[in-house]
Protein backbone atom coordinates (compact mmCIF):
# COMPACT_ATOMS: atom_id res chain seq x y z
CA UNK A 1 0.00 0.00 0.00
CA UNK A 2 2.78 2.41 0.95
CA UNK A 3 4.64 1.53 -2.24
CA UNK A 4 1.55 2.12 -4.37
CA UNK A 5 0.95 5.48 -2.69
CA UNK A 6 4.57 6.50 -3.24
CA UNK A 7 4.42 5.37 -6.86
CA UNK A 8 1.19 7.29 -7.41
CA UNK A 9 2.69 10.46 -5.92
CA UNK A 10 5.80 10.05 -8.06
CA UNK A 11 3.80 9.64 -11.27
CA UNK A 12 1.79 12.77 -10.46
CA UNK A 13 4.95 14.88 -10.73
CA UNK A 14 5.02 16.66 -14.12
CA UNK A 15 7.09 14.77 -16.68
CA UNK A 16 10.01 17.21 -17.14
CA UNK A 17 10.41 17.83 -13.41
CA UNK A 18 10.17 14.10 -12.75
CA UNK A 19 12.75 13.22 -15.39
CA UNK A 20 15.28 15.87 -14.37
CA UNK A 21 15.10 15.39 -10.60
CA UNK A 22 15.20 11.60 -11.00
CA UNK A 23 18.29 11.85 -13.21
CA UNK A 24 19.98 14.08 -10.60
CA UNK A 25 19.19 11.70 -7.73
CA UNK A 26 20.27 8.61 -9.68
CA UNK A 27 23.52 10.28 -10.76
CA UNK A 28 24.33 11.22 -7.17
CA UNK A 29 23.46 7.70 -6.00
CA UNK A 30 25.76 6.21 -8.63
CA UNK A 31 28.60 8.42 -7.41
CA UNK A 32 27.90 7.54 -3.76
CA UNK A 33 27.99 3.83 -4.63
CA UNK A 34 31.23 4.39 -6.55
CA UNK A 35 29.72 3.07 -9.77
CA UNK A 36 30.96 6.24 -11.44
CA UNK A 37 33.12 9.15 -10.31
CA UNK A 38 32.67 12.92 -10.67
CA UNK A 39 35.69 12.89 -12.97
CA UNK A 40 33.54 11.09 -15.54
CA UNK A 41 30.79 13.71 -15.28
CA UNK A 42 32.33 17.18 -15.11
CA UNK A 43 32.29 19.70 -17.94
CA UNK A 44 35.55 19.64 -19.90
CA UNK A 45 35.54 21.18 -23.41
CA UNK A 46 38.81 19.48 -24.38
CA UNK A 47 37.53 16.00 -23.54
CA UNK A 48 34.25 16.74 -25.31
CA UNK A 49 35.87 18.00 -28.51
CA UNK A 50 38.97 15.82 -28.67
CA UNK A 51 37.82 12.58 -27.05
CA UNK A 52 34.16 12.90 -28.11
CA UNK A 53 32.92 12.52 -24.51
CA UNK A 54 29.71 14.32 -25.40
CA UNK A 55 27.83 12.96 -22.40
CA UNK A 56 29.61 15.58 -20.30
CA UNK A 57 27.37 18.22 -21.90
CA UNK A 58 24.49 16.64 -19.95
CA UNK A 59 26.04 14.98 -16.91
CA UNK A 60 27.57 18.20 -15.58
CA UNK A 61 23.98 19.41 -15.00
CA UNK A 62 23.07 16.26 -13.03
CA UNK A 63 25.61 16.18 -10.21
CA UNK A 64 25.24 18.48 -7.20
CA UNK A 65 27.96 17.04 -5.02
CA UNK A 66 27.92 14.28 -2.40
CA UNK A 67 24.83 13.65 -0.31
CA UNK A 68 24.64 16.28 2.40
CA UNK A 69 23.03 19.59 3.26
CA UNK A 70 24.11 21.30 0.04
CA UNK A 71 22.73 18.45 -2.07
CA UNK A 72 19.38 18.38 -0.23
CA UNK A 73 19.10 22.18 -0.37
CA UNK A 74 19.63 22.19 -4.13
CA UNK A 75 17.29 19.25 -4.75
CA UNK A 76 14.46 20.85 -2.81
CA UNK A 77 14.79 24.13 -4.67
CA UNK A 78 15.21 22.38 -8.01
CA UNK A 79 12.12 20.21 -7.49
CA UNK A 80 10.01 23.01 -6.08
CA UNK A 81 10.59 25.72 -8.66
CA UNK A 82 10.89 23.41 -11.63
CA UNK A 83 7.52 21.93 -10.72
CA UNK A 84 5.93 25.32 -10.09
CA UNK A 85 7.00 26.51 -13.53
CA UNK A 86 5.83 23.34 -15.24
CA UNK A 87 2.45 23.36 -13.49
CA UNK A 88 2.07 27.12 -13.78
CA UNK A 89 3.10 29.24 -16.76
CA UNK A 90 4.25 26.19 -18.74
CA UNK A 91 1.14 24.11 -18.08
CA UNK A 92 0.13 22.44 -21.34
CA UNK A 93 3.37 23.72 -22.92
CA UNK A 94 5.80 20.88 -22.24
CA UNK A 95 7.67 21.51 -25.51
CA UNK A 96 8.24 25.16 -24.57
CA UNK A 97 9.52 24.06 -21.16
CA UNK A 98 11.92 21.58 -22.75
CA UNK A 99 13.08 24.31 -25.12
CA UNK A 100 13.78 26.58 -22.13
CA UNK A 101 15.92 23.78 -20.69
CA UNK A 102 17.84 23.46 -23.96
CA UNK A 103 18.26 27.22 -24.39
CA UNK A 104 19.38 27.73 -20.79
CA UNK A 105 21.71 24.74 -20.92
CA UNK A 106 23.31 25.96 -24.14
CA UNK A 107 23.94 29.47 -22.79
CA UNK A 108 25.37 28.10 -19.54
CA UNK A 109 27.65 25.74 -21.43
CA UNK A 110 28.99 28.63 -23.50
CA UNK A 111 29.45 30.95 -20.51
CA UNK A 112 30.76 28.12 -18.33
CA UNK A 113 33.62 27.63 -20.78
CA UNK A 114 34.90 31.14 -20.05
CA UNK A 115 34.50 31.06 -16.25
CA UNK A 116 35.89 27.53 -15.82
CA UNK A 117 32.87 25.99 -14.11
CA UNK A 118 32.83 22.20 -14.13
CA UNK A 119 29.31 21.54 -12.77
CA UNK A 120 26.39 23.71 -13.85
CA UNK A 121 23.43 22.12 -12.05
CA UNK A 122 23.26 24.75 -9.30
CA UNK A 123 23.36 27.58 -11.86
CA UNK A 124 20.53 25.85 -13.73
CA UNK A 125 18.47 25.75 -10.53
CA UNK A 126 19.04 29.48 -10.00
CA UNK A 127 17.88 30.09 -13.57
CA UNK A 128 14.59 28.28 -12.86
CA UNK A 129 14.15 30.24 -9.62
CA UNK A 130 14.84 33.51 -11.45
CA UNK A 131 12.30 32.87 -14.22
CA UNK A 132 9.65 31.84 -11.70
CA UNK A 133 10.35 34.86 -9.49
CA UNK A 134 10.09 37.35 -12.37
CA UNK A 135 6.82 35.81 -13.53
CA UNK A 136 5.37 36.06 -10.03
CA UNK A 137 6.41 39.53 -8.86
CA UNK A 138 3.52 39.91 -6.40
CA UNK A 139 4.22 36.73 -4.44
CA UNK A 140 5.53 37.55 -0.98
CA UNK A 141 8.18 35.13 0.26
CA UNK A 142 8.88 33.92 3.78
CA UNK A 143 12.34 32.37 3.82
CA UNK A 144 12.82 29.94 6.71
CA UNK A 145 10.63 32.24 8.80
CA UNK A 146 13.48 34.76 8.99
CA UNK A 147 13.18 36.97 5.92
CA UNK A 148 10.16 38.52 4.24
CA UNK A 149 10.50 39.82 0.71
CA UNK A 150 8.83 39.69 -2.67
CA UNK A 151 9.59 36.94 -5.17
CA UNK A 152 11.93 38.87 -7.55
CA UNK A 153 14.46 39.17 -4.71
CA UNK A 154 14.66 35.39 -4.13
CA UNK A 155 17.62 34.68 -6.48
CA UNK A 156 19.58 37.48 -4.83
CA UNK A 157 18.76 36.16 -1.36
CA UNK A 158 20.06 32.74 -2.43
CA UNK A 159 23.23 34.37 -3.75
CA UNK A 160 23.65 36.15 -0.42
CA UNK A 161 23.37 32.84 1.40
CA UNK A 162 26.02 31.35 -0.89
CA UNK A 163 28.27 34.30 -0.04
CA UNK A 164 27.71 33.82 3.70
CA UNK A 165 28.53 30.12 3.40
CA UNK A 166 31.79 30.96 1.68
CA UNK A 167 30.76 29.58 -1.71
CA UNK A 168 31.58 31.20 -5.03
CA UNK A 169 28.80 33.45 -6.28
CA UNK A 170 29.87 33.00 -9.91
CA UNK A 171 27.47 30.06 -10.13
CA UNK A 172 24.56 32.16 -8.84
CA UNK A 173 25.42 35.08 -11.11
CA UNK A 174 25.54 32.76 -14.12
CA UNK A 175 22.09 31.35 -13.30
CA UNK A 176 20.66 34.85 -12.80
CA UNK A 177 22.22 36.10 -16.05
CA UNK A 178 20.89 33.20 -18.15
CA UNK A 179 17.50 33.40 -16.47
CA UNK A 180 17.33 37.12 -17.23
CA UNK A 181 18.25 36.57 -20.90
CA UNK A 182 15.45 34.02 -21.24
CA UNK A 183 12.91 36.15 -19.38
CA UNK A 184 13.78 39.24 -21.43
CA UNK A 185 13.55 37.46 -24.79
CA UNK A 186 10.40 35.54 -23.88
CA UNK A 187 8.41 37.94 -21.70
CA UNK A 188 9.74 41.48 -22.13
CA UNK A 189 11.07 42.07 -25.63
CA UNK A 190 7.99 40.71 -27.50
CA UNK A 191 5.85 43.34 -25.73
CA UNK A 192 8.14 46.27 -26.55
CA UNK A 193 7.45 48.63 -29.48
CA UNK A 194 9.14 47.04 -32.48
CA UNK A 195 9.84 43.88 -30.49
CA UNK A 196 9.13 40.34 -31.44
CA UNK A 197 9.56 36.73 -30.38
CA UNK A 198 13.10 35.57 -30.94
CA UNK A 199 12.64 32.33 -29.03
CA UNK A 200 10.42 29.93 -30.93
CA UNK A 201 10.19 26.29 -29.99
CA UNK A 202 11.19 24.15 -32.99
CA UNK A 203 8.33 22.16 -34.49
CA UNK A 204 10.14 18.86 -33.93
CA UNK A 205 10.22 19.51 -30.16
CA UNK A 206 6.53 20.42 -30.22
CA UNK A 207 5.78 17.22 -32.11
CA UNK A 208 7.68 15.12 -29.56
CA UNK A 209 6.47 16.68 -26.33
CA UNK A 210 3.22 18.57 -26.78
CA UNK A 211 -0.14 16.89 -26.34
CA UNK A 212 -3.57 18.41 -27.09
CA UNK A 213 -4.86 20.55 -24.24
CA UNK A 214 -7.68 19.09 -22.21
CA UNK A 215 -9.45 22.45 -22.18
CA UNK A 216 -8.73 25.08 -24.80
CA UNK A 217 -10.05 27.78 -22.45
CA UNK A 218 -7.83 26.73 -19.54
CA UNK A 219 -6.31 29.66 -17.68
CA UNK A 220 -3.06 28.69 -15.82
CA UNK A 221 -3.34 28.87 -12.06
CA UNK A 222 -0.94 30.98 -9.98
CA UNK A 223 2.32 29.13 -9.37
CA UNK A 224 1.91 28.50 -5.66
CA UNK A 225 3.34 25.67 -3.55
CA UNK A 226 2.58 22.52 -5.57
CA UNK A 227 5.42 20.73 -3.82
CA UNK A 228 4.19 21.37 -0.30
CA UNK A 229 7.55 22.61 0.98
CA UNK A 230 7.84 25.63 3.27
CA UNK A 231 11.37 26.48 2.06
CA UNK A 232 11.02 29.84 0.37
CA UNK A 233 7.30 29.80 1.05
CA UNK A 234 5.29 32.33 -0.95
CA UNK A 235 2.01 34.07 -0.44
CA UNK A 236 0.36 36.10 -3.20
CA UNK A 237 -0.40 39.69 -2.25
CA UNK A 238 -4.09 40.45 -1.94
CA UNK A 239 -4.90 36.73 -1.56
**Separation of alpha carbons 124 and 100, rounded Å:** 11
pTM for the model stands at 0.84
68-84: average pLDDT: 91
Closest by CA to 79, choosing from 167, 32, 19, is 19
Q: Dump strand ranges (E) for the chain.
A: 139-143, 147-150, 233-236
pLDDT value for 213: 55
Checking if the pLDDT of 226 tops 50, the result is no
46 versus 230: the higher-pLDDT residue is: 46
What's the pLDDT tens digit per position in 125-161? 999 999 999 999 988 888 767 778 889 999 999 898 8
Q: Kindly list the structural domains of the chain, giving each domain's residue range(s) and its CATH number in brackets, ordered by start.
A: 1-209 (1.20.1540.10)
pLDDT value for 46: 92
What's the pLDDT tens digit per position in 168-190? 889 999 999 999 999 999 999 88
Checking if the pLDDT of 224 tops 80, the result is no
Amino acid sequence: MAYQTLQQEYLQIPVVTRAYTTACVLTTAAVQLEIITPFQLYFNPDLILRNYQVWRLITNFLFFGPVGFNFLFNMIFLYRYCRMLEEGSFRGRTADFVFMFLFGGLLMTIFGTFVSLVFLGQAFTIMLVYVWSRRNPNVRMNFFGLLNFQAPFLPWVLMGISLLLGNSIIVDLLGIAVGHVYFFLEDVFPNQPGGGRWLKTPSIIKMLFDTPEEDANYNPLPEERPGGFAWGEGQRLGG
